[in-house]
Structure 1
Amino acid sequence: MADDAPTLPPDTFATRLATLRARIDAACVRHGRNPADVALLPVSKTFGPDLIREATRLGLKRFGENKVQEIRDKAEPLADCGIDWVVIGHLQTNKARDVARLAAEVQSLDRLELAQALDRRLQQEGRALDVLLQVKTSDEETKSGLAPADAPALLRELARLDTLRVRGLMTLAVNSDDEAAVRTCFASLRTLRDQLRQDAPAGITLDRLSMGMSGDFELAIAEGSTEVRIGSALFGARSYA
């Protein structure tokens, strides 16, 4: 590198983003994948509008949030940024109205009741949403998601709802230091996706696999993830005060 090459100050959002993208690219190369095939979804939960605005200046336009309330709080002060809000947390049916009005995508669709509630509200709004089915691939009670065996039936029902565009699957891996156990969760989602594709209803492509977070995204890339959801490794440590 030339002596006069520009360098970024340590521990800024820009440097963390550059470091993260380099890690994503390196993981792709290690596993014979094209870095262009793995997207980054910044997870902005608990972080305020100022930091999100800074992120948009660096080209980020999609942000994941666990709670619909946070999307409501942030959407207005950031209305000029052209943000696509993505719901990644467990979603109650009574939040369907706000989701239909504010969100661009839901990655945590896990039951027909929720799909029908979203469909009703989306029809009223004259909108449609991209959705991913959240599948439970671990035995942890704290994890939400659809049982893998129930996915084919839900896909058939979703094919009847014009307002919901099914794009793929999402999962949360087991919280463990055992890399083999974590990879098994990701591999099982990929296998399920391949099985579902064989009999998927018309219009449902299942191209996307949203899996991998700050602590395990490199393992997820090894198992075929097309989008990693990154919060603390990008925004820094969270404060839940």
Structure 2
Amino acid sequence: MTDRRSELAANLASVEERIAAACASTGRKREEVTLIVVTKTYPASDVRILHELGVRHVAENRDQDAAPKAAECADLDLTWHFVGQLQTNKVRSVVRYADLVQSVDRVRLVTALSAAAEQAGREVGCLIQVALDAEEGAVRGERGGVAPDGIEELADAVEAAPGLRLGGLMTVAPLAGPLAGRPGAAFEQLVEFSSRLRAGHPAATMVSAGMSGDLEDAVAAGATHVRVGTAVLGVRPRLG
């Protein structure tokens, strides 16, 4: 455990240095960017160590891994983010522990989340996942997300839904299309969409973008939250 704590502390310090340097180089304050550690495939013991090291935001992408882990760490003051593609049959479980769902990409999911949140007596924050590799009007791709022209409809649906709170936008750097291999340009586009969204939804201030390999691009573009897994936790086998 001591070795693992030392490993995580060193990795976390390195990531913190990267975020701080990216903020400094673009004239941003470090407190403008929130680090979310993506703990998918890693055990609850790692989450506890990260909490001891000061981490307060963690993310998961599979309910079957996340639900038992969140229950085991229920005594910790953590904000849990769900970042994976979410099927409606998992919604009731997810809203029991997730404070924010960052992968909202269709109205049917909004409806399911609202019903489950109301039943659980919770308010759940929602980020609209934008597929920057999607053509206008296209169906979401394998990684999820709504095409840019669908953002406003979903935003209106979330804002009108009981038990839900519209938080902002999220994206993953596209693997295809004109923005493939250009994370900086992709994240700048997301920030532009965020600016437009806030004109009608001023509380939707979150911009979640950037991972281990491109967090600097996200910070430079104006992201408010970066989602980092491997750079903090390393490479480990999947949970059983």
Q: CA deviation at 1:224?
A: 0.7
Q: CA deviation at 1:70?
A: 1.2
Q: Give yes or no for contact 1:61–1:83 (8 Å, CA) kept in 2.
A: yes
3-state secondary structure, aligned to 2:223: coil
Correspondences of 1:7-86 after superposition (within 5 Å)? 12-86=7-81
Q: CA deviation at 1:179?
A: 8.6
Residue range with higher mean Cα deviation, 71-80 or 48-57: 71-80
3-state secondary structure, aligned to 1:172: coil
Q: Distance in 2 between matches of 1:180 and 1:144?
A: 18
Q: Give yes or no for contact 1:175–1:182 (8 Å, CA) kept in 2.
A: no
Give the counterpart of 1:93 among 88, 96, 104.
88
Aligned CA-pair RMSD: 2.2
Q: Give yes or no for contact 2:5–2:49 (8 Å, CA) kept in 1.
A: no
Q: Distance in 2 between matches of 1:59 and 1:232?
A: 18
Q: Give yes or no for contact 2:129–2:145 (8 Å, CA) kept in 1.
A: yes
3-state secondary structure, aligned to 2:58: strand
**Letter in structure 1 aligned against 2:227:** R
Q: Which has the larger radius of gyration?
A: 1
Q: Deviations over 1:119-148 (max 9, x none)?
A: 111111111111111011125943210111
- The runs of 4+ residues in structure 1 deviating greater than 6 Å are 8-11
Q: Give yes or no for contact 1:183–1:220 (8 Å, CA) kept in 2.
A: yes
Aligned to 1:196: 197
Matched, 1:150 2:145: no
Aligned to 2:102: 107
Q: Distance in 1 between matches of 2:6 and 2:131?
A: 35
Q: CA deviation at 1:11?
A: 6.2
Structure 1 stretches of 5 or more lacking a match? 1-7
Q: How many residues align?
A: 230
**Letter in structure 1 aligned against 2:93:** D
Q: Distance in 1 between matches of 2:75 and 2:20?
A: 31
Q: TM-score, normalised by structure 1?
A: 0.88
Q: Distance in 1 between matches of 2:187 and 2:222?
A: 8
Matched, 1:231 2:229: yes
* Distance of aligned partners of 1:24 and 1:179 in 2 relative to their CA distance in 1, 3 Å threshold: farther
**Letter in structure 1 aligned against 2:71:** E
Correspondences of 1:203-222 after superposition (within 5 Å)? 204-222=202-220
Structure 2 stretches of 5 or more lacking a match? 135-139
Q: Give yes or no for contact 1:9–1:15 (8 Å, CA) kept in 2.
A: no
**Letter in structure 1 aligned against 2:89:** N
**Letter in structure 1 aligned against 2:117:** L
Q: Give yes or no for contact 2:215–2:226 (8 Å, CA) kept in 1.
A: yes
Q: Give yes or no for contact 1:179–1:219 (8 Å, CA) kept in 2.
A: no
3-state secondary structure, aligned to 1:194: helix
3-state secondary structure, aligned to 2:182: helix
Q: CA deviation at 1:173?
A: 0.5
